[in-house]
Structure 1
Amino acid sequence: MPATAAPDPASPAWTLPLDRLDISEPSLFQTDTWHPYFARLRRDDPVHYTAESQFGPFWSLTKYQDILHCDVNHGLFSSEIGGIVIRDQTEETTRPSFITMDPPKHDAQRKVVGPIVAPGNLANMEALIRERTRMVLDALPRGETFDWVEQVSVKLTTMMLATLFDFPFEERSKLTYWSDVAIANPADPEAPVKDEAERTAVLQEMAREMGALFHRRRAQPPRFDLLSMLAHADATREMPPMEFIGNLMLLIVGGNDTTRNSMTGGLMALNAFSDQYRKLRENPALVETLVPEIIRYVTPVIHMRRTATRDSEIGGKTIRAGEKVIMWYISGNRDETVIDRPDDFIIDRARPRQHLSFGFGIHRCVGNRLAELQLRVLWEEILARFPMIEVVGEAQRVYSCFIHGIRSLPVRIPG
């Protein structure tokens, strides 16, 4: 919903002493009450140190330019030393992937999967994406309430995942389940797993099933799917078991959660800003700028973590070697010094791609153009058949400070 950065004297976001502000609390995102906390930090302490939290001590970067500085300086701020999430990894939970690697290993592994989302292949995939989108939308009920996440967002992203991996199509729901398990916070009562041991067991099951397909592809001539690419490339064909699991998690979550939540969050934003929905209906060509605005406004990945490799300074603060630095993309995308009226959803922005949601530098999201393609096709097809899709109840959000997840959203298409 629309948010305001104006201080509210009754809100703890504005009254708590700065040293007691902890923006890593997952409930802030589950209840959608995070906005004023980040507005306070952007105004009063944009490079903020939290000494105590459930994730230990960490630095927070909340302004656009500071986040960009950290993201592009991979030599100074490492992904490999501590991983990419705020929670510290243990021996049990460490599963390396190319997003948690520094060069040169990162570059070699990322290069393997790049061709599947190259412009030429995306052009070839568009017809299939459009066919499936039409099939899903045409099956939706009219005049009755249904869950948009279950009936649209999950269905479309799961079919896309199955195509990317050339996974047995009739078993594609496993991919969604594995993605949900990979990002689940066991403290969430609705999480599909209740502890790390259960998560590990599910991911080992994933590794067995995907591993069997991986070895089958390695014995076959190279094909244009992710498993075949990994199986035939020198940089990935002999991955250790935990690295295999880590890269599968990265590719499955990257291909599922971010697009899925943008598909849902975009509909919510258009309902919250009815003037923008009306503008879009009157001019469907605005889908081109709608898509990046959805991705900015929703910010499906809330944060990324880096670890300082040596002492440096950001915003007048000294960050020591070994300290944890959190880039809060969700705050940088609301930075009023860079983005005009950032708390408003504006589908015809002059610079719609001015956002942090895909990251920058060597770790910029490898599938960003595929995500945009899926969203563009979805909204083109929605506008071609539905004058309006109404949000008729509250969204149920995921308990997480990493993925800006939406578990369910009741909607209705007027009959």
Structure 2
Amino acid sequence: MADGAINLLSAAREEAYSTPLDQLDVSLGERFQHNVMWPFFERLRQEAPVHYCRTSEYGPYWSITRYHDIVEIETNHGVFSSEGSITIEEQRDDFVLPMFIAMDPPKHDAQRKVIAPIVGTENLAHLEPIIRQRAGLILDELPIGETFDWVDRVSIELTTQMLATLFDFPFEERRKLTYWSDLTTVDMSDVMTEEEAKAELMGCAFYFQNLWNERANKPPSTDLISMLAHGESTKDMPLMEFLGNILLLIVGGNDTTRNSITGGLLALSQNPDQFARLRANPGLISSMVPEIIRWQTPVAHMRRTAKRDFDFHGQTIRQGDKVVMWYVSGNRDDTVIERPDAFIIDRERPRQHLSFGFGIHRCVGMRLAEMQLRIVWEEILKRFPVIEVADEPVRLKSNFLRAYRSMPVRIPARE
């Protein structure tokens, strides 16, 4: 870790423990951007694991920061609802995008069931050679001996190609998917107005509507658009619900995996002993992949809304209150995970993490994400004994996605 990053973290620790507990607000995006949110969550886990923040940019909210408490909230959808919004931020009243992740049963279950076969065992076996071939081509085109952006050349390109395959989207236009994903996850206020962003997203809706109309008039196929077009619970969705579900699948299939690909390389760079162990024993990839996903925690939080007053571990959560489950904190809970701040590629229980959520909303594509990470690291180790991170990555200013805008790397020439 560079001196500047160490100084920032030290200052954050001092702030975290000197701020009155009732004034702590862990939602500030700047802390995630600079990767200094850790001591704030550490203090909440220790002193106030069910914590109420009265004042924030997003209004009042509860923070749930311990592993088992998060699981309790996740599995009690009778009290804690996903309806409306699954982030700390509310949707805009004039641009509401319903999507199945932000729904409760039975509608959630019916819509999720429609797209589940795309990540079933049979289809994953079909996709594996495609992912391997494309990963190999991407890696073989990387420059040797010069600095380049790992996020753009590898993480985005690999996941965008995969997403285009899942949608059966025109391959030559696949970067549209990256663009639309960024419109929903990146603050674009410096380049466009909110109205312009909404217009771009409606352009996404109309583009996919054309694909939908084509697939709806053909026999059912195995791509996501055909599945939605022929699914009993999804074939008649209103336009905004259609767009909401499309954006959900784009972000879910793109951002989380691409940030784990980048985060994995960063973790190995910061832990050279683990990188050396991996090179000596590539068989450790199978346990390293879930450790990357835990360590990175690509989705930092999910939010629920209380459907009624509820007493939870000595605190009364009121009907209508926001309840934010901080996965990024639960994945560092030392009462559940041994040495949680360490990156250890051969943990005994590497899948003991919250990065995919829990219960009925657990990430439907988690096995595909793990497979992509496994394959990309298998192919990396075949080609490059060393990949050097040349400078600190540029992170997204977001308390929802732990994402990277860029990360300069260099592959040394072999001697």
The TM tier, using the shorter chain, reads over 0.9
Structure-2 separation of matches of 1:287 and 1:337: 26
Residue in 1 aligned with 2:168?
166
Please state how far the C-alpha of 1:195 moved relative to its aligned partner: 3.9
Residue in 2 aligned with 1:276?
274
Residue in 2 aligned with 1:334?
332
- Does the Cα contact within 8 Å between 2:12 and 2:36 map onto a contact in 1? no
The answer to whether 1:247 aligns with 2:245 is yes
- Does the Cα contact within 8 Å between 2:13 and 2:40 map onto a contact in 1? no
Q: 1:70 aligns with which of 64, 70, 73?
A: 73
- Secondary structure, counterpart of 2:56 in structure 1: coil
Deviation track 1:348-372 (CA, whole Å, cap 9, x = no partner) reads: 0000000000001110000000000
- Secondary structure, counterpart of 1:128 in structure 2: helix
Residue in 1 aligned with 2:319?
321
Please state how far the C-alpha of 1:198 moved relative to its aligned partner: 2.2
- Cα distance change of structure 1 residues 225 and 348 upon mapping to structure 2, 3 Å threshold: same
- Does the Cα contact within 8 Å between 2:34 and 2:395 map onto a contact in 1? yes
1:11-410 correspondence runs (5 A) = 11-80=14-83, 82-186=84-188, 189=190, 194-410=192-408
Please state how far the C-alpha of 1:313 moved relative to its aligned partner: 2.1
- Does the Cα contact within 8 Å between 1:7 and 1:14 map onto a contact in 2? no
Please state how far the C-alpha of 1:385 moved relative to its aligned partner: 1.0
Structure-2 separation of matches of 1:147 and 1:315: 46
- Secondary structure, counterpart of 1:234 in structure 2: coil
- Does the Cα contact within 8 Å between 1:8 and 1:14 map onto a contact in 2? no
- Cα distance change of structure 1 residues 397 and 258 upon mapping to structure 2, 3 Å threshold: same
- Cα distance change of structure 1 residues 194 and 45 upon mapping to structure 2, 3 Å threshold: farther
Please state how far the C-alpha of 1:131 moved relative to its aligned partner: 0.2
- Secondary structure, counterpart of 1:37 in structure 2: helix
- Cα distance change of structure 1 residues 10 and 378 upon mapping to structure 2, 3 Å threshold: closer
User: TM-score scaled to structure 2, two decimals?
Assistant: 0.96
Structure-2 separation of matches of 1:161 and 1:339: 32
- Secondary structure, counterpart of 1:306 in structure 2: strand
Structure-1 separation of matches of 2:10 and 2:196: 43
Aligned partner letter, 1:59: W
- Secondary structure, counterpart of 2:336 in structure 1: coil
- Cα distance change of structure 1 residues 37 and 129 upon mapping to structure 2, 3 Å threshold: same
- Secondary structure, counterpart of 2:316 in structure 1: strand
Please state how far the C-alpha of 1:39 moved relative to its aligned partner: 0.6
Structure-1 separation of matches of 2:40 and 2:317: 22
Aligned length: 409
Structure-1 separation of matches of 2:313 and 2:336: 16
- Does the Cα contact within 8 Å between 2:131 and 2:375 map onto a contact in 1? yes
- Does the Cα contact within 8 Å between 1:71 and 1:361 map onto a contact in 2? yes
Deviation track 1:266-309 (CA, whole Å, cap 9, x = no partner) reads: 00000101111111111000000000000000000010000011
Structure-2 separation of matches of 1:313 and 1:267: 42
Please state how far the C-alpha of 1:119 moved relative to its aligned partner: 1.1
Aligned partner letter, 1:78: S
Structure-1 separation of matches of 2:178 and 2:48: 39
- Does the Cα contact within 8 Å between 2:305 and 2:323 map onto a contact in 1? yes
- Secondary structure, counterpart of 2:405 in structure 1: strand
- Cα distance change of structure 1 residues 340 and 377 upon mapping to structure 2, 3 Å threshold: same
Please state how far the C-alpha of 1:196 moved relative to its aligned partner: 2.8
Question: How well do the aligned residues superpose, as a CA RMSD in angstroms?
Answer: 1.6
Q: Which runs of 4+ in 1 moved over 6 A?
A: 6-10
- Secondary structure, counterpart of 2:325 in structure 1: strand
Q: Which runs of 5+ in 1 are unaligned?
A: none
Structure-2 separation of matches of 1:112 and 1:199: 29
- Does the Cα contact within 8 Å between 2:13 and 2:39 map onto a contact in 1? no
Structure-1 separation of matches of 2:144 and 2:55: 50
User: TM-score scaled to structure 1, two decimals?
Assistant: 0.96
- Cα distance change of structure 1 residues 79 and 140 upon mapping to structure 2, 3 Å threshold: same
Structure-1 separation of matches of 2:187 and 2:323: 21
- Cα distance change of structure 1 residues 9 and 283 upon mapping to structure 2, 3 Å threshold: closer
Please state how far the C-alpha of 1:54 moved relative to its aligned partner: 0.5
Please state how far the C-alpha of 1:12 moved relative to its aligned partner: 0.4
Percent identical residues? 59
Q: Which runs of 5+ in 2 are unaligned?
A: none
Please state how far the C-alpha of 1:76 moved relative to its aligned partner: 1.0
- Secondary structure, counterpart of 2:311 in structure 1: strand
